Amino acid sequence: MKHLFGPVFSRRLGLSQGIDLLPPKTCNFNCIYCEINRAPQLSCERGEHVPTDIIIAEIDGLLEDEERVRDLDVFTITASGEPTLHTGIGRIIRHLKEKTDKPVAILTNGSQLHLKEVREDLSRADIVIPSLDAARPESFRKVNRPAECSADLDTIIKGIAQFSQEFTGEIWLEILLVENINDTIEDIAALKNAIERIRPTRVQLNTVARPPYESFAKPLTRKRMEEVKEEIEKGYAGHVDILAGSKETEVTDKGKGRNGSSEKISLESMESEIIEMVLRRPCTTLDIAGTLNLETERASQILQNLANRGDLIATIHGGKKYFRTPKGQKTENE
Ligand code: SF4
């Protein structure tokens, strides 16, 4: 499995080069809304799950392609799991900051920020996007299903708040709401208190926009999302955004992703890139067309062939057709 993916166009971050640090789905949570269609390898141990040198060599290979790098807006460190479980994350951020002038963003579930070494590792990033989906223990357990070894909710909130005090970059606190799970009046009141403690640069509200791991995880309506936004805005001076659509990637039209002609890429490479993308999250035809710079019709053809061979499955979510991997599918290096 490669550790660089995309670039993909993200409405909140722009053209984003993804860097994935972990084997799928190495995580200390098992969120009901997770977009990765497989059971987690639950772990709370920080370690070098993938040799840092391998990831840095891939980054250096990409940096040689000046044309491709020039148009990027951001490097985004994420994982098919929780990236702060990787002990090389600090070194990778420093490497990016030394070698490029592009901002570095980190997507994290926020559960490890009570650890001093994790806060230090993330300190050189420009934007950190921690999740906090619930501030009541019962809702936290229902939506995030933390591993037994995970820190408790109060420790997690304190850790995010402490990081927020120390960090000189921006903190965008993401809250993903699931209908009848973490969206009650009590949940929103508790989240407001947590926001007051954390004081993030902005709050980003999200819901189940792509096919979730558990089919019972349902999105909130737009109206309910607006109501929650209004409620949070009452006690918070920063920006509250509703993420329009997906948790991260929002390819809006062809050509926003990879630069240059896709003619140079063989069908086999395109198929393996598609599988790599879809292993991380379900994608629409437009997502794939945008990232690989393909005509929509061509992307659709390739996706359909992969589905016919059983490598992908098509599923409808929110009125859109997504392609995802069959449940539990493994990568070639597992
Ligand atoms: S959504 Fe993120 S934090 Fe939750 S299980 Fe999936 S990878 Fe882990």
Res 268: pLDDT? 85
- Single-letter amino acid, residue 318: G
Neighbours of 204 (CB within 10 A): 19
* pLDDT value at residue 244: 60
Site residues for ligand 1, CB cut-off 6 Å: 25, 27, 29-31, 34, 36, 40, 81-82, 109
Sheet holding 104-108, edge to edge: 4-10, 14-20, 74-78, 104-108, 127-130, 170-177, 202-207, 239-242
Which pLDDT belongs to residue 329? 59
Q: What percent of the chain has pLDDT over 90?
A: 75
Pocket test for ligand 1, best of 20, 35, 36 (most atoms within 8 A of CB): 36
pLDDT score recorded for residue 333: 44
pLDDT value, residue 246:
40
The residue contributing the CA closest to ligand 1 atom 1 is 34
Query: Which residues does the chain have with pLDDT short of 70?
Result: 1, 244-264, 328-334
Measured in Å, residue 32 CA sits from the centre of ligand 1 at 9
pTM of the full predicted structure? Answer: 0.89
Query: Residue 177, class by beta-carbon neighbours within 10 Å (0-12 exposed, 13-18 middle, 19+ buried)?
Result: buried
The domains of the chain, with CATH numbers, are 4-242 (3.20.20.70), 262-324 (1.10.10.10)
pLDDT score, position 118: 98
